[in-house]
Amino acid sequence: MLSVIRGGRVVDPTASRDTVGDVWIEDGQVVDPPGREADRVIDASGCVVMAGGVEVHSHIAGGNVITSRLLLPDLYVSEAAPDGHPFAHAGGAAAWIGSTYARMGYTTAVEPAMPPTHALGTQLELADIPLLDRGALTVMGNDDQLLQLLRERQGGNAVRDLVALSVAQSRGLGVKCINAGGASAFKDGALRLSLDDEIPVYGLTTRQIMGSLLDAVEEIGVPHPLHVHCNNLGLVGGDDSFVATLDAAEGRRIHFAHAQFYAYGAADPANPQTGGFRSAAERIAQAIADNPNATLDIGQVVFGQTVTVSLDILRQFAGRKGAKPKKWVLNAGDAEGGGVVPFLYRPRGPTSSLQWAIGLEIMLLSTDPERTILTTDHPNGGPFTQYPRIIHLLMDKAERDREIATLPGIVAERSGLPGLEREYTLSEIAQLTRSGPAKLLGLTDRGHLRAGARADVAVYRDTTDRTAMFTAAKLVLKDGVPIVEDGEVVEWRSGRTLSLTVESDRAMEKRADAYLTDRFGEGLDSFAVPNEAFDQGVENFEAVPCRA
Amino acid sequence: MAAWVKGGATDADTAIEAAASLLAKARAPVIAGLSADVAAIRAAYDLAGRIGASIDTAGAAATYAELGSLSRIGAMTTTPAEAVGRADAVLVVGAAPWRSQLMKRLSALKPSRGRAAGSDRALLALGAGSEGAAATLACPAEGGLPEAIAELRAYGRGHLAGDTPRAKLAGLLADAQFGVLLYDPAEIGELGVDMLQGLAMELSETTRCFTLAIAGPDQDRAVVPVAAWLTGQAPRSGFGRRVPEHDPWRFDVARQVAAGEVDAVLWLAALPVPRPGWLASVPSVGLVAEAEANVADVVIAVGRPGRDLGGVLWNEQRAALTYWPASAPSERPSAASVLSALRDRLAEGRAASRSEPAC
């Protein structure tokens, strides 16, 4: 069927397009105007038309997310189910995640932390997130098998083969490292780890582990660069860790997760432990501007109750003292494990206000929005449901000023936010939320509206209340099929899980099987994510090729 | 497909029709047991959500000893493989863990990873009763396990002092580099789990210490994550008001049956678990692998995952959900397919009755 979305303001920064016009769709793809009548005409006059949103870093599945639901049963509110899905309004549930993203015009979302030991559980959970295409990043960097290879200096090929095998087995979309070596160090008694600190027992450093993973990702040809969660998250002086890590990448492609949580410069360099922090947004933004192969996502903080979930157990153990309410979970798992610590970003509190300001500041200072991805590191900085409000603040200086006026003076004293005049354009918002994340993930078929794109399209009513505009899209198409109309789901359908096609080395399979059997009493088979584990008759996975 | 209605053998369609009829008449149905693979657990939730049933599991006593404590104070945990690989001291709490497969590995192997690698592993017993002969130090727990654990905490925090066996036990744990507290939640109860988590958290202020729970014979360890991702809540939830309502007391099926609150039960046991006594006292549908004609009013024999057909199950050794292929494939239907058929049949009935005036 040939459809046309007619008369909307079409915003596609990848084609330098921001004009009133049409978007033609046939067989689930965007096509050039075909010169014949459309079978279906969708009137988009008075509306903004963008590609579907793409999420690169949101904790939407996996052991930590499950634990957070059990630790805080009252974090979300459930409402009565709509027709068509019994649990779509069950707060925090998979169907709620899918439908809430879809209502906002997002059509793809990536869980950034899938441990290979729990790949099947994570993939099954992702498969139950409706409406969206999903994906997950395979986490490496703390596992004994990798650290042994490095300790024994077995060479880059062995590391490459182990990374390839782990991605293939877990059916990941990319590779992430989380405070590389930190979880291992924590289990051996450490409380802190920086880039060049020695990791107990292994005699390695984060620099060495991360460096080997950076190389492996490039050699395999993973489209998404190594996704890095640095040391010293949330600490005063985190900006030093960020910049040191960027330097350690030595020009190789690298993605920094939730950069806001590192942009805490020492307010009093002479007394870094006692003087508190000030915004290091300028330093972070400049560092990224100077390194064209580096990208970041924000990890914007929003006010209110949330729960922090992370495989960085070193950091989560340290953070337990700040738990609110006062309960927390720390799992020393088979590689990283996980930590779940409830947290309240106190409305109008000085610390949370400064964190809030820093995230916005990084975005507003960005010289290249396509390398600056909007995230809240859901749920760590706050829920993803706050994206529309954040977009509003980026686009509207007066709205920002109104919010800043309610906040303590520390925002003006220790951040540059109040002085920033910039207002994001719709094209720049599309870069932050569409073209940037799609390019970052190496997904050429989305994030834009050029011919050949997947027909994942969001149509928003163009109003000055950007919060309302981006909360409930007027229309969302997934693969050309309307899934949301007037902010409500109208078609419950399943997306696919995007999974990298990567060959694993037979010799490494044999080695890993022997290693795992010795350690777990079961071999490689018990780490598999077979098609048979998913609903039959439905194609759950979609192959994404490696880079040539 | 083997099936029985009121003890008489019948065919698949008749059994499905009888089961749907029994559930359609119910005003307060319960789906219980859920000893099954992930596909069947998902199908059970889908059915419950659509007919307004509540859910309870076969291993709920142990599960809620864990979850009650978890939602109150949190937890500090590790995995079987980490315990085997890293623990230089294991405190075995109670008698049940001594009978676990994990104890064999803990006894047979020395730590091989981390800072305790190569050292001996101390096996310590608290309240082991007649078990625990292999322990290097054994302390009884006459006053009950929660109280005994509380005393260890008191020694650890300096609230108690003295040269007692429990003081020695507390000292050994404090001196360990990677301590593990092994327990069965069904044995020590919610208060015991609370105490044990507190002990692990306090010990980790100066060293590393983690708890590790032994799973029961059921599939509750699979149900809990699936329930959490499907509904945002733990297993004991009701859907009678079209909103998932989690309430461990209200949706305890044994309590509900005793109080006369249930008028139909669907018992799901695609993997064998002990059958509860209350099952005989309510109209029931049984989806069971080890089928007997009189297990329930309507009985449908389903395939056992891992034997008759493949399925995703809790893997205790791996502490993860893993896929088990069929070891002896058979033609028996999967529990998930029977639950889906029931759902479709009930949906047809509801659509047909929707035009009737409300009373």
Q: Which residue of A has its CA nearest to B245?
A: A78
- The label of the residue with tokens 């709205």 reads A399
Indicate the burial class of B208 (C-beta count within 10 angstroms; 0-12, 13-18, 19 or more): buried
CATH number for position B68: 3.40.228.10
Same structural domain, B268 and B342: yes
Instruction: Identify the bridge partners of residue A175 per DSSP, sorted by sequence position.
Output: A138
User: Both B82 and B170 in a single domain?
Assistant: yes
B23 and B84 both lie in a single domain? no
| A81/B229 CB distance under 8 A | no
Measured between beta carbons, the chain B residues lying within 8 angstroms of A77 are: none
CB-closest option in A67, A89, A187 to B208: A187
Nearest by CB to residue B231, choosing from A79, A87, A529, is A87
CB contact under 8 A, A121 and B113: no
* B74 contacts on A by Cβ (under 8 Å): 71, 323, 327-330, 340
- Determine the Cα–Cα distance for residues A375 and A392; give it in Å rounded to an integer: 14
Looking at the structure, do residues B244 and B106 belong to the same domain, yes or no?
A: no
Query: Which of A423, A461, A546, A505 has its CA nearest to residue A160?
Result: A505
The answer to whether A209 and A535 are in contact (CB under 8 A) is no
Long-range contacts of A315-324 (CB under 8 A, 24+ apart): A315/A179, A315/A182, A315/A232, A315/A233, A315/A234, A315/A339, A316/A340, A316/A341, A317/A186, A317/A191, A317/B204, A318/A191, A318/A192, A319/A234, A319/A343, A323/B74
Interface test with B, best of A78, A89, A147 (most B CBs within 10 A): A78
Domains held by chain B: number: 2
| Nearest-angstrom CA–CA distance, A381 and A308 | 8
- We report the CATH number of the domain holding residue B294 as 3.40.50.740
| Chain A CB contacts of B49 below 8 Å | 81, 86-87
Contact predicate A260/A247, CB 8 Å: no
Whole-prediction pTM value? 0.97
pLDDT at B352: 65
- Which of B213, B240, B255 is a domain's end point? B213
pLDDT at B357: 42
Among candidates A256, A203, A254, A253, which has minimal Cα distance to A230?
A256
List per-block mean pLDDT (blocks of 10 residues) for chain B, which spans 359 residues: 94 95 97 98 96 97 98 98 98 97 96 97 96 93 96 97 96 98 98 98 98 96 98 96 93 98 98 95 96 92 98 97 98 97 89 50
In chain A, the largest separation of any two C-alpha atoms, in whole Å, equals: 71
Chain B residues whose beta carbon lies within 8 Å of the beta carbon of residue A184: 114
Residue A393 distance to chain B (closest CA, Å): 30
Taking the CA of residue A180 and the nearest CA in chain B, the distance in Å comes to 16
Answer whether A128 sits within 8 Å of B229, measured CB to CB.
yes
Tokens of A302: 């929003």
B204–A329 C-beta distance less than 8 A? no
Residues of A with Cβ-Cβ distance to B76 under 8 angstroms: 329-331
Residue that is last in its domain, among B161, B194, B213: B213
Looking at residue B1, what is its pLDDT? Answer: 73
Cβ pair A86:B49 closer than 8 A:
yes
The residue of chain A with its CA nearest to that of B306 is A533
Return the number of other C-beta atoms located less than 10 Å from residue A37's C-beta.
8
Q: Which of B300, B315, B61 is nearest to B193 (CA)?
A: B61
In this complex, the residue of B45, B115, B321 whose CB is nearest that of residue A120 is: B321
Q: Which residues contact A481 (CB under 8 A, 6 or more apart)?
A: A28, A491, A493
Q: Do A124 and B239 touch (CB under 8 A)?
A: no
- Give the DSSP H or E segment for A107: strand A106-114
Q: How many CB atoms within 10 Å of residue B144?
A: 14
Identify all chain B residues contacting A93, using CB atoms and an 8 Å cutoff.
229-232, 244
So what's the pLDDT on residue B325? 98
- The minimal CB distance from A520 to the residues B75, B246, B318 is found for B318
Residues from chain B contacting residue A340 (CB–CB below 8 Å) = 74
Which string of DSSP letters, residue by residue, matches A492-503? -----EEEE---
Contact: A520, B246; criterion CB under 8 Å: no
Both B44 and B73 in a single domain?
no
Q: Look at A90 and B76 and tell me if their CB atoms are within 8 Å.
A: no
Q: Choosing among A79, A89, A124, A328, which should be mutated to test the B contact, i.e. which has the most B CBs within 10 A?
A: A124
Q: What residue of B is the nearest CA neighbor of A78?
A: B243
Name the stretches of chain A with pLDDT < 50: none
**Neighboring chain A residues of B325 at a CB cutoff of 8 Å:** 532
CB burial class (10 A; 0-12, 13-18, 19+) of residue B152?
buried
**Does residue B275 sit in the same domain as residue B153?**
no
Q: Which domain holds residue B310?
A: 3-59+218-355
SS3 readout for A318-347: HHHHHCCCCCEEEEECCCCEEEEEEEEECC
Q: In angstroms, rounded to a whole number, what is the distance separating the alpha carbons of residues A218 and B107?
A: 44
What is the rounded distance in angstroms from the CA atom of residue B200 to the CA atom of residue B75? 8
Cβ-Cβ contacts under 8 Å, B228 against chain A? 66, 69-70
Rounded to an integer, what distance in angstroms lies between the CA atom of residue B268 and that of residue B143?
A: 38
**Residue A125 to residue B82, Cβ atoms within 8 A:** no
- Asked if B234 lies within 8 A of A334 by C-beta distance, the reply is no
**B115 contacts A80? CB cut-off 8 A:** no
CB contact under 8 A, A86 and B50: yes
pLDDT of residue B358: 39
Check whether residue B244 and residue B286 sit in a common domain. Answer: yes
For A116, the closest chain B residue by CA position comes to B320
CB–CB contacts below 8 A, A to B? 182
- Best probe of the A interface among B63, B199, B202, B229, by most A CBs < 10 A, is B229
CB contact under 8 A, B232 and A93: yes
| pLDDT score recorded for residue B350 | 72
Q: Are residues B80 and B118 in the same domain?
A: yes
Q: Could you say which of B75, B232, B315 has the minimum Cβ distance to residue A90?
A: B232
Place of tokens 């032994």: B214
Cβ neighbours of B245 in A, within 8 Å: 78
User: For A118, which residue in chain B has the nearest alpha carbon?
Assistant: B320
Query: Which chain B residues are closer than 8 Å to A332 by Cβ?
Result: 77-79, 82, 208, 210
pLDDT of residue B347: 86
Strand partners for A9: A20, A48
Same domain for B222 and B141, yes or no, is no
Nearest CA in chain A to B77: A331
Long-range contacts of A86-92 (CB under 8 A, 24+ apart): A86/B45, A86/B46, A86/B49, A86/B50, A86/B239, A86/B242, A87/B45, A87/B49, A87/B230, A87/B231, A87/B232, A87/B244, A88/A130, A88/A489, A88/A492, A89/B243, A90/B230, A90/B231, A90/B232, A90/B233, A90/B243, A90/B244, A91/B232, A92/B232
| Rounded alpha-carbon distances, angstroms, from residue A385 to A468, B22, B88 | 12, 42, 45
Mutate to test the interface with B, among A111, A187, A336, A538 (most CBs of B within 10 A): A187
Q: B40 with B89, same domain?
A: no
Q: Are residues B198 and B135 in the same domain?
A: yes
Say if the Cβ atoms of B76 and A330 lie within 8 Å: yes
pLDDT score, position B351: 66
Residues B204 and B233 in one domain: no
Cross-chain Cβ contact B115/A121 below 8 Å: no
Pick A188's closest partner by Cβ from B39, B114, B231: B114
Q: Look-up: residue for tokens 């004994």? A: A144
Q: Is B307 helix (H, G, I), strand (E, B) or coil?
A: coil
Collapsing DSSP to helix, strand or coil, A72 comes out as coil
Cα of A47 to nearest chain B Cα, Å: 34
Indicate the SS3 state at residue B280: helix
Which stretch of DSSP H or E encloses residue B16? Answer: helix B12-25
Helix, strand, coil percent content, chain A, rounded in steps of 5: 35, 20, 40
Please compute, for residue B69, the number of CA atoms within 13 A of its CA located in the half-sphere on the CB side. Answer: 25
The DSSP-derived string for B22-68 is: HHHH-SSEEEEEEES-HHHHHHHHHHHHHHT-EEEETTHHHHHHHHH
Element at B76 (helix H, strand E): strand B74-78
CB atoms within 10 A of CB A243: 17
Task: With CB atoms and an 8 Å threshold, state whether B320 touches A120.
Answer: yes
A287 with A243: CB under 8 angstroms? Answer: yes
Q: What pLDDT is stored for residue B356 in this prediction?
A: 45
**Among B160, B182, B213, where does a domain finish?**
B213
Six-digit token string for A85 = 């899905």
